[in-house]
Amino acid sequence: MKLYYSEYKPNGILGEFFLDYSKFEVRQKIRGNFHLLNDYTSSLLIVLDINSGKIICKIAGYRNERLRINLKENSVLFIYKFKPEIFYLLNDGKIENFKNKIVNYLKIKFPAGIHDEKTINDILIEHYKKITLNRTKLKSYVLRAIEKINLQKGNYKTGELISESGISIRQFQREFKKVTGFSPKEYASILRINSLTSQLLKDKVSLKDIFFDFGFYDQAHFNNEFRKIIGANPTLFESRQKLIKYLNLL
């Protein structure tokens, strides 16, 4: 099949709500469902039927297991990754309602006949610029920790984050998990694997060429972490082609 994958960093209003967004364009029918891998944050999913211009909007919650979504032939899946602290505020802290789930999202109205990415983004901008968030509900040390872990793609030292916060380990972990749904270690581990798979999808590289770049000391260290997070054999991710097959796009 033909798979087209792109990844973008949003700016402006969308940059305030989302970390990034990616686009999977499917030109031929896939076998069964598309697999969404474990993710450290929740996402807005927009599925565009290219032929009809019809759009389906859903939320994929943060997760420590795979989720599945059906994609038709000639469809485009947009995945907008929420900043975890923003998703927490948008849902009044009730993020546990979304963990390991895909739910319909009806708050954004898309007219029929949409066929391009720019129109989708324009509608999202109009929707999110009307939203005011009360950021005083967030602890500054949690925000700094999330930002640092994100910037370092999951490579971080727990001691540094806690010493900067000036609070106990237990309190830090409790506040971090309240906002993200994960402990700092769980969040960082999933982020590292997630970042690595994104790199495989974008570039023609093999797994053995890049796992050092994501803080894994050796093949054994990576294998153990991968099995713990994904629950599958790392050989399934040895190359872009194998990863695409694992996602069920072949």
Q: 57 pairs with which residues across the strands?
A: 46
**Phi/psi at 140 (nearest 5 deg)?**
-60, -35
What is the residue-averaged pLDDT of the chain?
Answer: 86
Give the range among 27-31, 138-142, 144-148, 154-158 with minimum mean pLDDT.
27-31
**pLDDT score at 104:** 96
Please state the domain extents for the chain.
3-128, 139-250
pLDDT score of 217 more than 90:
no
Residue linked to tokens 């007219």: 111
**Is residue 85 within 8 Å of residue 138, measured between CB atoms?**
yes
CATH level 3 topology of 139-250:
Arc Repressor Mutant, subunit A (1.10.10)
pTM of the model: 0.89
What does the pLDDT read at residue 241?
67
Q: Please, are residues 25 and 31 in contact by the beta-carbon 8 Å criterion?
A: no
